[in-house]
Structure 1
Amino acid sequence: KKATCKEEGSVTYTCENCGETETVSTKKTKHDYREEQHKNATCTENGYSISVCQVCNDKKKEEIVAKGHSKGIRNKTTATCKAEGYTGDTYCRTCKTLLEEGKILPKLEHQWNDGTVTKRATYETAGELTYRCRKCAAKRIISIEKLAYPKVGTSYTISGNEYKVSKPGAEVILVKTSKTTKNVTVPAQIYAQGITYKVTSIGAKAFNNNKNLTKVTIGTNIVEINSNAFFNCKNLKTVTIKSVYLTRKTANKKAFKNAHKKLVIRVPKKVKKIYKKIFKGLKVK
């Protein structure tokens, strides 16, 4: 008897000598299943497969387990110094379902370099210090304060003459000159440490005891000649005053005490009358 997928079969053996028989059962055969229905599993739902045996019509259903989401990230951006970033949205690569929205990332801090002086500060204008971000090349400009003018009393020596600041950034006094100079010009202004100063005053004893001095020219910005400025300059014969700003309060003949007896003071025509009064007793032309 042939075995089927429903029933066992049997085989009968007969002895050739005595004719005795023996029957042995045989195992059922396997079902000849053919799939007739199929539903694919999704990320979240199970699927199934239904098969039917072509011999005995037996049906078999097998469950197909859901695969689960295959997670991916989209719309991800990195935060920079210029713009916010985004962690990205989590979605399923298979079913394209949005699983989780991302979060905004704050802008990063700029990473400034050590800065470069792009505009030097002067006594008149402020300077600029420019920093640049090492990541995004953004720039940040900080003002540098104007330079502080040298204080009153600051000393400068120019062409052998010593000057001291009387008004920061503006005026100086001539306080000392070389004892060996014969011909001296007191300038209208001097230039020191990037600053132009008006020479407005000749200090007491500035030319004191200069026995070699014979001629002096006094610049246009002098407003004061202190007493004894030319004390004991016995060979001083000619003084040319170009300034028109002297008054009885700011100058007098004591400035030329013990100068040469024939000292001549030359002055601008328009102040000649006034200067004769100021230097009364001296020869003013």
Structure 2
Amino acid sequence: MGPPEFSADLYREITEFAVGTPSWVHSVAEVGTDAGLLLFGVLFVAGWWRARGRDARSMGLALAAPFAMVAAYLVSEVSKDAIQEERPCRAVAGAVHIAACPSPGDWSFPSNHATIAAGSAAAIVVAWRAMAPLVLPLAAVMAFSRVFVGVHYPHDVAAGFLVGVVVASVVAVLLAAVLRPVVEWSRGMAPGAVLLGARPVVAAGGDWNAPGPVPVGAPVPGGASVAAGGPGRGLMDEAAVTSPDVMGGLPPVPRGVTSTYGPHGS
């Protein structure tokens, strides 16, 4: 497969500019991609740690993030072998490049580095949206650096970036849905609670329809409070209704709940 002419022309312009930059810029551009991938790895771990105090879906997304990135990389790698586009540092006449040109058979389209960077960023954003202003620009710079050092065409990194964002986002969401019940089940055992965090406890005044126990002293509808051994959320079983309560039009009081109302609603 031959490159689009506009991409080859843009490649020449970028690499000719890059060669004229100071040597320290060359060094930063060469190591920048690998350093960025290391940062993404740290963020994967940080995302897992953060999710230990959150619900099962949040933990599922955090656990799915690195696997989503790997899935995007595999799509890119299979595409490279199928398309077999020659590297511009060999195919473009008079090409100049900062980095060493990869060996023959190491194909150019799409860029694996761009795919991994974009896939990592997308998976992190799906699990941890606050990281978007950091990881998305970083992934874009990492992708561009592959053109800057002369080992990829611009269309290589653009395609790789697109593959990374789309594949990683979709895989992260689908995989998280599969992992959610596994996380719930694992948190019920001691090793799982250590690795994945205990099930989060809803504070007093939370949703009564959510599963799980209600803390002692939590307010319930009608001004009552939960006594020790009281009901769980969603378990407002048959209420003990007294004649004065009915006469006074008060709501029924669930088992285990101490009413704050006096006789006849006083």
TM-score band by shorter chain is under 0.3
* TM-score, normalised relative to structure 1: 0.25
| Larger RCO, structures 1/2 (Cα 8 Å, 6+ apart) | 2
* TM-score, normalised relative to structure 2: 0.26
